[in-house]
């Protein structure tokens, strides 16, 4: 069975809800796939499967009620679980990297019915079907994570279309996008609530839309145009705004190196996903030198722009 990659939200965390665009891409550094395990006791198998039997029950109830949006062979999925099916994944949980999204994408990818019809569906319908499935884990879901994991392609969110597949530019890159692992798993909900509470202040909301959202949209345009220097400059503006106005999204012990990046021309950092931990997203003109400067932190190269 094939791998389903993690997902990375490059730009648009939080601000997509205020009208900016967002850009999410597959993150093949991490992935998950279905596999069968043998010679395990019932308790050992249950430990490896975790919530999968309950997820099968959830999908079965929706199907029995005629409410399941995805055309799935739930019975075959359940039978595979009885036979020792597990989802082996190295996608970190609590990092906003799409660990549950990859799993949900893997269910649709392997137990979908009417394969031809799936390709004819608008992305918005596919996104809703995946969101319904992923809601088992989170109560609600936008469907973005499993959509990117399922398609294995970059997706531009927001605007009239709501979601559309985009192509990344082919060029001679000048800058390296990387992830800095904070080593701090977190729950997204408190940080989403923090941002929404900040937006209740009309003056701050207006300031955010005037000073923050344009940089997010400009960063996406520059990224899709393959303009690495402009991406670098916009990430500087985004990171500066976040440090000055949304510092709770940045773990306290990482604020000094965040400021170090703002003060220099080597690297810049911004929030990745909901914030509060997980990964930080960075860009640099010299990755090897940045690894030396930030030698006490784990840096993961993602892509070049």
The pair of structure tokens assigned to 120 is 């004819």
CA atoms within 13 A on the CB side of 214: 4
What's the whole-number mean pLDDT along residues 100-115? 91
CA atoms within 13 A on the CB side of 300: 15
38-51 confidence digits (pLDDT tens): 999 999 999 999 99
| Model confidence band, residue 138 (pLDDT cutoffs 50, 70, 90) | confident
Question: What rounded mean pLDDT belongs to the chain?
Answer: 94
61-98 confidence digits (pLDDT tens): 999 999 999 999 999 999 999 999 999 999 999 999 99
Residue 117 has pLDDT above 60, yes or no: no
Nearest to 144 by CA among 11, 279, 18, 30: 11
* Angstrom distances, CA of residue 101 to CA of 80, 144, 195: 20, 8, 23
What's the whole-number mean pLDDT along residues 231-236? 98
Q: Was domain 4-165 assigned CATH 2.60.40?
A: no
pLDDT of res. 199: 94
Helices assigned H by DSSP within 83-212? 99-111, 115-120, 123-138, 144-151, 189-198, 202-211
pLDDT of res. 119: 52
| Model confidence band, residue 156 (pLDDT cutoffs 50, 70, 90) | very high
3-state secondary structure of 157: strand
Q: Which residues contact 254 (CB under 8 A, 6 or more apart)?
A: 180, 182, 269, 280
Question: How many CB atoms are closer than 10 A to CB 47?
Answer: 11
pLDDT of res. 72: 96
| Model confidence band, residue 121 (pLDDT cutoffs 50, 70, 90) | low
178-228 confidence digits (pLDDT tens): 999 999 999 998 999 999 999 999 999 999 999 999 999 999 999 999 999
Q: Which H helix or E strand runs over 239?
A: helix 228-245
What is the DSSP-derived secondary structure letter of residue 72? B
Distance of CA 15 to the CA centre of its chain: 14
| Model confidence band, residue 28 (pLDDT cutoffs 50, 70, 90) | very high
Q: Which residues contact 152 (CB under 8 A, 6 or more apart)?
A: 4, 5, 26
Q: Residue-wise over 118-130: b if at least 16 C-beta within 10 A, else e?
A: beeeebeebbbbb
Residue 120 has pLDDT above 60, yes or no: no
pLDDT of res. 229: 96
Q: Does pTM surpass 0.75?
A: yes
Fold type of domain 176-304: Alpha-Beta Plaits (3.30.70)
Residue extents of the structural domains in the chain: 4-165, 176-304
Residue 304 has pLDDT above 60, yes or no: yes
pLDDT of res. 238: 98
Q: Which H helix or E strand runs over 221?
A: helix 213-225
pLDDT of res. 92: 96
The pair of structure tokens assigned to 117 is 């019809």
Nearest to 181 by CA among 264, 251, 87: 251
| Model confidence band, residue 172 (pLDDT cutoffs 50, 70, 90) | confident
Bridge partners of residue 11, in order along the sequence: 23
pLDDT of res. 98: 95
Is 176-304 in the same CATH topology as 4-165? no
The percentage of the chain sitting over the pLDDT mark of 90, rounded to a whole number, equals: 88
Nearest to 246 by CA among 15, 79, 3, 9: 15
């Amino acid at each position: 069975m094939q791998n389903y990659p993690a997902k990375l939200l490059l730009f648009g965390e939080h601000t997509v809800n205020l009208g900016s665009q967002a850009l999410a891409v597959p993150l093949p550094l991490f992935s998950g796939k279905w596999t069968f395990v043998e010679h395990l006791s019932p308790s050992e198998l249950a430990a490896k499967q975790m919530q999968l039997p309950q997820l099968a029950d959830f999908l079965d109830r929706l199907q029995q009620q005629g409410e399941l949006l995805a055309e799935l062979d739930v019975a075959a999925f359940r039978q595979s679980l009885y036979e020792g099916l597990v989802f082996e994944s190295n996608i970190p949980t609590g990092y906003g990297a799409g660990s549950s999204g990859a799993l949900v994408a893997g269910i649709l990818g392997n137990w979908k019915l009417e394969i031809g019809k799936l390709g004819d569906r608008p992305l918005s319908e596919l996104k809703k079907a995946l969101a319904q499935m992923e809601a088992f884990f989170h109560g609600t879901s936008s469907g973005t994570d499993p959509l990117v994991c399922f398609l294995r392609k970059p997706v531009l969110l927001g605007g009239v279309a709501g979601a559309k597949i985009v192509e990344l530019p082919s060029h001679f890159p000048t800058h390296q996008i990387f992830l800095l692992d904070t080593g701090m798993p977190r729950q997204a909900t408190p940080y989403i609530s923090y941002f929404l509470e900040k937006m209740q202040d009309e003056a701050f909301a207006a300031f955010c839309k005037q000073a923050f959202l344009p940089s997010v949209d400009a960063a996406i345009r520059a990224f899709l145009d393959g303009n690495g220097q402009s991406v670098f400059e916009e990430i500087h503006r985004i990171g500066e705004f976040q440090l000055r106005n949304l510092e709770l999204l940045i773990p306290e012990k990482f604020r000094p190196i965040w400021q170090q990046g703002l003060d220099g021309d080597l690297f810049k950092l911004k929030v990745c996903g909901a914030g509060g931990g997980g990964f930080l997203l960075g860009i640099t003109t010299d990755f090897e030198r940045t690894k030396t400067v930030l030698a006490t932190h784990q840096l993961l190269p993602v892509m070049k722009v």
